[in-house]
Amino acid sequence: MKLKYLLAAVAVALVTTAAPRAAEPAVAIKLQGRHGHATPVRQGCTHTGAGNIDVAQPSPDTVVVTMTGVAVATGHPCKASVASLDFDLEQCFEVVLDNPAGKRITLTAEARVIGLLRSHCKGGGSAEESGACATVSCGPTSLLTVCAPAHTVAGGENLSINDRDGPVSQVVAPGKYTLHQKFRVSTSHPKAILPCKAASAEFAPDPALDPLWISYWEPFKGAQKKDFGFQVTLKVTTEDAKEEQPAGKPGNLKLGASR
């Protein structure tokens, strides 16, 4: 009897250890060289924060690029204040396929922008996010582009942004490609002698923006900021290529019986 239970336990253990592993995708993105820059510009009474360009690959067939930054400007008694962060990335990558025979590869891109723009009616400043675009090209040829709309606030306007563009897809062949991605956050404020409230463009998680730069009664108090920034997702998939019927050949069309 004990031998019977022992054999049953061994059989269960063998089944558990022999469980098949999840197969990796046949098509993949291999990251290669890149040039990424976030350039701050500051004049007057200003603040910039973050300036991160994060390139992540959660799975072999997916790449996620996130740009995060903050710009703040308030009144200076002697000159106008300007603050901005300009992002620019060129990421080279290769699309590889184990067995390309009879397969069609689709490259898909999707973009989203999440963040906050603030201005104050007594401050006279303005805040803006713009240029949130990404293009995938092969040599001099652009294959697909995703862009989020630009936004500006001034004169006491405030705006919470959650924009998305895509997905946009393009059939591609195995080979080398380039992702070119740009983004800009900026603020400005005229010269001011008396103390005034700042204008801010916040597109980065805490603690990129020091709380001292915003009011305790600010309109977006308690906002969840972990997903702030401009993010582009690239993904490759495969499917069986469909054979096109030559012109003039109906294929397997069946004609009705004549009477």
What's the pLDDT band for 95 if we cut at 50, 70, 90? very high
- List the domain boundaries for the chain: 23-238
The whole-number average pLDDT for the span 167-193 is 93
Q: Which residue has the higher pLDDT, 73 or 211?
A: 73
3-state secondary structure (DSSP) of residue 6: helix
Q: Supply the pLDDT for residue 250.
A: 45
Q: Above 50 in pLDDT, residue 154?
A: yes
Q: Tell me the percentage of the chain whose pLDDT exceeds 70.
A: 81
Report the Cα–Cα distance between both ends of the chain, in Å, rounded: 77
User: What CA–CA distance (Å, rounded) separates 81 from 174?
Assistant: 49
pLDDT band at residue 102 using 50, 70 and 90 as cut-offs: low
CA–chain centroid gap for 165, Å, is 10
Cα 149 to Cα 131: distance, rounded to the nearest angstrom = 8
- 196 versus 249: the higher-pLDDT residue is 196
Residue (of 242, 237, 235, 251) closest to 102 by Cα position:
242
Model-level pTM? 0.81
User: Among candidates 172, 186, 185, 180, which has minimal Cα distance to 147?
Assistant: 180
- Yes or no: say if 70 and 209 are a contact pair by the CB < 8 Å rule: yes
């990335």: which residue's tokens?
A: 89
DSSP of 226-247, one letter per residue?
TT-EEEEEEEEEEEEPPPPPPT
What is the C-alpha separation between 186 and 165, in angstroms, rounded? 21
pLDDT category of residue 164 using cuts at 50, 70 and 90:
very high
Residues composing the chain: 259
| pLDDT of 16 over the 50 cut | no
CA–CA distance, 105 with 27 (Å, rounded to integer): 8
DSSP-derived 3-state class of residue 3: helix
pLDDT one-digit tens code per residue, 222-244: 889 999 999 999 999 988 766 54
Q: What is the mean pLDDT of residues 126-148?
A: 95
Report the pLDDT averaged over residues 149-163: 94
